[in-house]
A and B are shown apart, each in its own frame.
Chain A
Amino acid sequence: MNERIARAAARYFAGEATPEDMAMLTAWLEENTENAREFAGMADIEFAVRPPFDPEGIDTDAALGRTISVMHKEERKSRRVRFIRILEHAAAVLFLPLALLSAYLLSDKMEQDESATAWQTVTTPFRTNTCLELPDGSKVWLNGGSTIRYPLSFGKDGRSVSLTGEAYFEVESDKSHPFIVQTRNVKVTATGTAFNVDAFRNDDIVSVTMVRGVVDIDMKGKTLRMSPGDRVSFNQRVNTYSITRSDPEKWCAWRNGRIIFENDRLDYVFHRLGQLYNVEFTVCDPSVDKYVYHAVFTDETLPEILDMLSISAPIRYEITKSDSPDPAAPKQHIRVYGK
């Protein structure tokens, strides 16, 4: 490219090209494709130095919000169709719209109430899970048998929710207003990140699994900063904790109705199944505990899972009805024996 061409091109990009400039450029561009490529490279630089619009005037966050709301609207439409199909398979799913409906009615009622802080509580029945959006746009997937409580609008001093059970959080980024998840003994503080909290009512152990970003965690005064792939388990009874590194997918798979066991000891397997299906397991033969199990379950019922377990692991089981007077207590009791 000689200097005359370069100047003509510069004038073209500045919108000041003369007919002679255009004729000269056209002739040069038609010569060969290499010239056209060079011209395209000049365009890249020209538009980087002098962008067509003010880059600061393009609001990516707002556009993403608009786009996602279009996606949600479309997905809600298609979900309605899919929902009818699921109904044929699992009666338990019936509870999902009930949970959503009660949340909706509750929120309707609370919006009329003009008290300082109106709170919303959402509880999911066992073996269902639900996804909800918090006032700041953060998303929560609530596992079965879990309860989350949050204000209808977050105040100036932060975003705080309380949780019993298990939930997966995708927190909207906002550095000046930390997002806080409070369980009975553990507090997780995040700004913009994704993580899973497992804090069931009857468990001694609260676990937090990091998927993305950074969170600070406070366990009765013991503090810790976590990064992606970290899983912290805090024993509330003896106030000790342990950190392991693992694939976060395993711990968040429940959002898609899956349960993943990967080299997990049977005592953990029974513990997890107990959480998810609200049953109580008693292992009557301690040698069974140490057996390591590997499986992925998707939407299976508990009897199906137990049957599979007793085929591939050296166990047999017995189901009895629980006679506990506590209505929240597990309804079934399962005794596990070695073969």
Chain B
Amino acid sequence: MKETITLADLRKGGHETFSRLFILHYRDLVLYAGRYLPDQEACEDIVQDIFLKIWHLRDKLDIAVPLRSYLVGAVKNRCLNEIKHRKLTSDTTIEFLSWMSARTEEETVLYSELGERLHAALGKVPPPCREAFEMNRFKRMKYQEIADMLGVSKRTVESRIGKTLAILRVELKDFLMILLLFSGIPLW
């Protein structure tokens, strides 16, 4: 579990707490901005700017929630505004992007947060099963392609991935439901 930093902590802790907050969330927030804007430099600028705003307004702001939630919301709004302002995409896409952020900031899972969970859960999967799963999920290979590459039958690949999913289901609980539906991998 990551540490939680509040506005009160920031007011009290000064530069040192600011640095901790920055190190804790910067990469995740840039990747989060990347969901909306394809330009890494623009994303980094937006995130840096939001951190500076928080610092300047720390005595004036009134935020009771952990700063992580505030930051996620601020990045989201800035990105959506930027897209509308720059007329980067069609209205349909903007609509989709809004749906993509339909959950509250607290519910939104950032890169390192799920990354850690997924990585930890995969660590409990036997290597041959894990290999097949990663080829399918991360390298986007089809079952037949994986079977050909590993020199095993397609049925073996399916059973290895099935075993992986069974283990992940226990480890990831709430996330898995979506993962399974989403991946479209047949469950048996």
Contacts and interface: CB of A to CB of B under 8 A. Distances in A.
Interface SS, A side: helix
Interface string B99-122: 111110001111101110010000
Contact of A67 (B51, B92, B118): B51
A39 B34 contact: no
Interface stretch (A1-9, A154-162, A269-277, A279-287): A1-9
Interface SS, B side: helix
A57 B40 contact: yes
A64 interface: yes
B55 interface: yes
Given A44-B108, A49-B138, A53-B40, A58 B184 contact: no
Interface in A1-38: 1, 3, 6-7, 9-10, 12, 14, 22, 25-26, 29, 33, 36-38
Contact of A37 (B40, B56, B102): B102
Contacts of B35: 43, 47, 52
26 contacts: A3-B181, A6-B181, A6-B183, A9-B182, A22-B92, A25-B96, A36-B102, A37-B102, A37-B103, A39-B102, A44-B114, A45-B175, A45-B178, A48-B114, A48-B115, A49-B138, A52-B38, A53-B30, A55-B27, A55-B31, A57-B40, A63-B44, A64-B26, A67-B51, A71-B55, A74-B56
Interface of B: 15-16, 18-19, 22-23, 26-27, 30-32, 34-35, 38, 40, 43-44, 47-48, 51-52, 55-56, 92, 95-96, 99-103, 107-111, 113-115, 118, 137-138, 140, 175, 178-179, 181-184
A58 B101 CA distance: 23
A57 to B, nearest CB: 7
Contacts of A202: none
A68 B140 CA distance: 41
Nearest to B22: A64
Contacts of B30: 53, 58
Contact of A36 (B51, B99, B114, B175): B99
B184 A3 contact: yes
A169 to B, nearest CB: 12
Contacts of B184: 3, 6-7, 10
A24 to B, nearest CB: 13
A319 interface: no
A75 to B, nearest CB: 10
A33 to B, nearest CB: 7
A60 B27 contact: yes
A309 interface: no
Nearest to A51: B31
A48 B118 contact: yes
Nearest to B138: A49
Contacts of A42: 178, 182
Contacts of B31: 47, 51-53, 55, 58
Contacts of B18: 71
B136 to A, nearest CB: 11
A98 interface: no
B102 A51 contact: no
A33 B102 contact: yes
Contacts of A37: 102-103, 107
A41 B183 contact: no
B170 to A, nearest CB: 17
Contact of B101 (A6, A25, A40, A70): A40
Given A58-B26, A70-B48, 14 more contacts: A6-B184, A14-B140, A22-B92, A29-B99, A33-B102, A41-B175, A42-B182, A43-B35, A44-B108, A47-B31, A48-B115, A58-B40, A63-B22, A68-B19
Contacts of A57: 40
A48 B92 contact: no
Nearest to B118: A48
B49 to A, nearest CB: 9
Contacts of A66: 48
Given A48-B111, A55-B111, A58-B44, A1 B181 contact: yes
B30 to A, nearest CB: 5
A170 interface: yes
A12 B97 CA distance: 11
